Structure 1
Amino acid sequence: MTELSIVPAGAGAGKTHHIQETLTQWVRDGKVRPERILAVTFTEAAAGELRQRIRGALIADGNLQAALAVERAYVSTIHGLGRRLLIEHAFAAGSSPQQRLIAEDEQDLLIRRSIEENQALNELSRNLGAYGYRGSFTSDDTAEDSFRRTLLGVIALLRTLGPRGGDPTMADFVDASIRQGYRQPVGTPETLAAGLKQAVDALLLAFPRSLADDAGSAAAKTAFRDNFRALKQAEQLLSTGGKDWKLWQRLRDLRQSKRAVRRLMVTMTWPLRS
Structure 2
Amino acid sequence: MNHRNLGSTGISVSEMGMGCMPLSITGRPSEEQAMATIHAALDAGITFFDTADCYCLDTADMGHNERILAKALRGNASVVVATKGGLIRPEGRWEADGRPERLREACEASLLALEQDHIFLYQFHRPDPLVPFADSIQALADLQKEGKIVHIGLSNVTVAELEEALAIVPIVSVQNRLNVFDRSSLDVLKRSEELGISFLPYSPLNGMSQAGKIGEHDVLSGIADEHGVTPQQVALAWLLQLSPVIIPIPGASRSESIINSAGASDLTLSTIELEQLNVIS
Give the alignment's TM-score, normalised by structure 1: 0.23
Whose RCO is larger (CA < 8 A, sep 6+)? 2
Larger radius of gyration: 1
Structure with more of its chain in helix, by fraction: 1
Q: Which structure has the highest strand share of the two?
A: 2
